């Protein structure tokens, strides 16, 4: 059975009502059969796109303090050492995962631990792969700490289509690896910032699966 994320309930309901209403109006006001079929096909395709975007497949995470799992589904587009200037103010190993509109957009906690920092930043809507997206786009920054990795930062970043980021992390909260950390609506990316000695299990271009695939170890 397909599950949908709670952040999509309202949009799904509105889209379904619009789709039903549109089909009724099409039958009432358009006489040409070919045109009825064509417009109905467009309406149904749009409904399917909305449903697939908000799907929330059940994932079983193998809990392990010595591993970091992918927080989202998507493609690894950045692996590099960078200066992280919002929280650490030192060099970190950055891994960025880009989500296309057809990916599952649930954000999951990459590791278990205590939330040390959680902050929302309003901003622009540059395309998610733009070099300045991580510092200028709408985004949230969250830092989790555990005994194995110390502090790890992840950043939800809105893309050109994303117009709302949902972040469930609150400071001082204990979180469980693989559980629901939020949602980004309509295209986006997630950046992770690890200690430099972290061992990565992914390479540029890899496709990862959120909540289950190990992307780094200590």
Give the C-alpha distances (Å, rounded to integers) separating 139 from 19, 164, 186: 32, 9, 14
| Domain definitions of the chain by residue range | 6-53, 67-217
pLDDT at 1: 74
Instruction: Please name which of 88, 78, 186, 217 lies closest in space to residue 141, comparing C-alpha atoms.
Output: 88
Q: Are strands 139-146 and 164-167 parallel, antiparallel or unpaired?
A: unpaired
User: Whole-angstrom Cα distance, residue 39 to residue 195?
Assistant: 53
Task: Cite the active site residues.
Answer: 188
Q: Does domain 67-217 have CATH number 2.130.10.10?
A: no
Residue 146 is encoded by which pair of tokens? 């555990």
User: Whole-angstrom Cα distance, residue 126 to residue 189?
Assistant: 11
Instruction: Please name which of 164, 184, 174, 150 lies closest in space to residue 73, comparing C-alpha atoms.
Output: 184
Cβ–Cβ < 8 Å for 61, 181:
no
pLDDT at 187: 63
Q: Model pTM?
A: 0.85
User: Whole-angstrom Cα distance, residue 146 to residue 174?
Assistant: 10
Instruction: Please name which of 19, 88, 21 lies closest in space to residue 49, comparing C-alpha atoms.
Output: 19
**Cβ-Cβ contacts under 8 Å for 193 (sequence gap 6 or more):** 82, 84, 88, 92, 93, 94, 152, 153, 154, 155
| Local confidence pLDDT in tens for the 218 residues of the chain | 788 989 889 999 999 999 999 999 998 888 899 999 999 999 999 999 889 888 999 999 999 999 999 999 999 999 999 999 999 999 999 999 998 878 888 999 999 999 999 999 987 766 656 666 666 678 899 999 999 999 999 999 886 655 578 899 999 999 999 999 999 876 688 999 999 999 999 999 999 999 999 999 98
């Amino acid at each position: 059975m397909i599950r949908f994320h709670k952040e999509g309930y309202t949009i799904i309901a509105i889209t379904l009502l619009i789709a039903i209403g549109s089909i009724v109006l099409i039958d009432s006001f358009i006489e040409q059969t070919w045109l009825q079929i064509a417009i109905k096909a467009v309406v149904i395709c749009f409904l399917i796109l909305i449903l697939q975007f908000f799907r929330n497949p059940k994932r079983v995470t193998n809990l392990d303090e010595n591993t970091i799992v992918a927080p989202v589904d998507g493609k690894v587009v950045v692996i590099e050492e960078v200066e992280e200037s919002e929280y650490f103010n030192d060099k970190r190993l950055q891994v960025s995962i880009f989500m296309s509109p057809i990916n599952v957009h649930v954000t999951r906690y990459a590791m278990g631990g205590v939330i040390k920092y959680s902050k929302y930043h309003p901003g622009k809507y540059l395309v998610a792969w733009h070099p300045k997206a991580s510092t200028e786009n709408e985004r949230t920054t969250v830092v989790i700490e555990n005994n194995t990795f110390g502090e790890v930062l992840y950043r939800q970043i809105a893309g050109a289509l994303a117009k709302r980021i949902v972040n469930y992390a609150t400071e001082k909260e204990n979180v469980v690896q693989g559980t629901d950390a939020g949602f980004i609506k309509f295209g986006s990316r997630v950046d992770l910032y690890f200690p430099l000695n972290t061992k990565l299990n992914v390479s540029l271009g890899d496709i990862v699966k959120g909540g289950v695939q190990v992307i780094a170890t200590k």
